[in-house]
A and B are shown apart, each in its own frame.
Chain A
Amino acid sequence: MSAVLSIEDVWVRYGDLAAVRSANLEVQPGQVAALIGETGCGKSSLALATARLLPANARITGRIAIDGQDIVPMSREELQTVRGIKVGFVTQDAMAALNPVLPVRRQIGEMFEAHRGRNRHDAEELAVEALRSVQIHDPEGVARLYPHQLSGGMRQRVMIAMALALSPPLIVADEPTTALDVSTQAEILRLVAALRHELGTSILWITHDMGVVAELADIVAVMYAGRIVEQGTAEQVFDAPRHPYTEALLRTLRDLRGGERGGHMYQVPGQPPSLDSAITGCPFHPRCERASQVCTDIDPRPEVSDGVRVACHHPKLPVPEGASG
Chain B
Amino acid sequence: MARRLIVRFGLAAVAVFGVVVLTFILQYVIPGDPAKLLAPRAPSAAVLQSIRDQLHLDRPMLLQFAYYLGGLLHGNLGQSYVQREPVTTLIAQRLPATGMLALAGVVCEMVLGTTLGILAALKPSVRRVMYGVNLLLLSTTYFVLGLVLLLVFGFRLGIAPVTGGEGLPQLVLPAITLGLIGLPWYAQIVQDAMRDALSSSYVRTAMAKGLSERRIVMGHVIRNVLSPVVTMTGLDLGAYLSGVVIVETVFGWPGMGKLAVDSMSNLDRPVVMGTVLVGTIAVVFFNILADFVRWYIDPRTRIEPA
Contact = CB atoms under 8 A, between A and B. Distances in A.
13 contacts: A51-B208, A83-B208, A89-B205, A96-B201, A99-B205, A99-B206, A100-B299, A111-B209, A114-B209, A114-B211, A114-B215, A148-B300, A162-B205
A213 to B, nearest CB: 21
Interface in A85-109: 85, 88-89, 91, 93, 96-103
A100 B201 contact: no
Interface of B: 200-202, 204-213, 215, 219-220, 223-224, 227, 297-300, 303
B210 A85 contact: yes
B223 A101 contact: yes
Contact of A146 (B204, B206, B212, B299): B299
Contacts of B219: 102, 110
Contact of B211 (A51, A103, A110, A148): A110
Interface of A: 51, 53, 76-77, 79-85, 88-89, 91, 93, 96-103, 110-111, 114-115, 146, 148, 159, 162
A147 to B, nearest CB: 9
A80 B227 CA distance: 29
Given A97-B202, A100-B299, 8 more contacts: A76-B213, A84-B209, A93-B201, A101-B298, A110-B219, A111-B209, A148-B299, A162-B205
Contacts of A93: 201
A145 to B, nearest CB: 9
A98 B202 contact: yes
B215 A91 contact: no
Contacts, number: 81
B224 A84 contact: no
B208 A114 contact: no
A82 B297 CA distance: 32
Contacts of A85: 210
Nearest to A106: B219
A169 to B, nearest CB: 14
Given A101-B297, A101-B298, A110 B205 contact: no
Contacts of A100: 202, 224, 298-300
A162 B205 CA distance: 10
B227 A101 contact: yes
Give the interface centre of A81, A114, A159 by most chain B CB atoms within 10 Å.
A114
Task: List the 9 shortest-distance A-B pairs measured between CB atoms, nearest first.
Answer: A83-B210, A84-B210, A89-B208, A96-B201, A84-B209, A99-B202, A97-B201, A97-B205, A146-B299
B204 A97 contact: yes
B224 A99 contact: yes
Nearest to B299: A146
Contacts of A77: 212
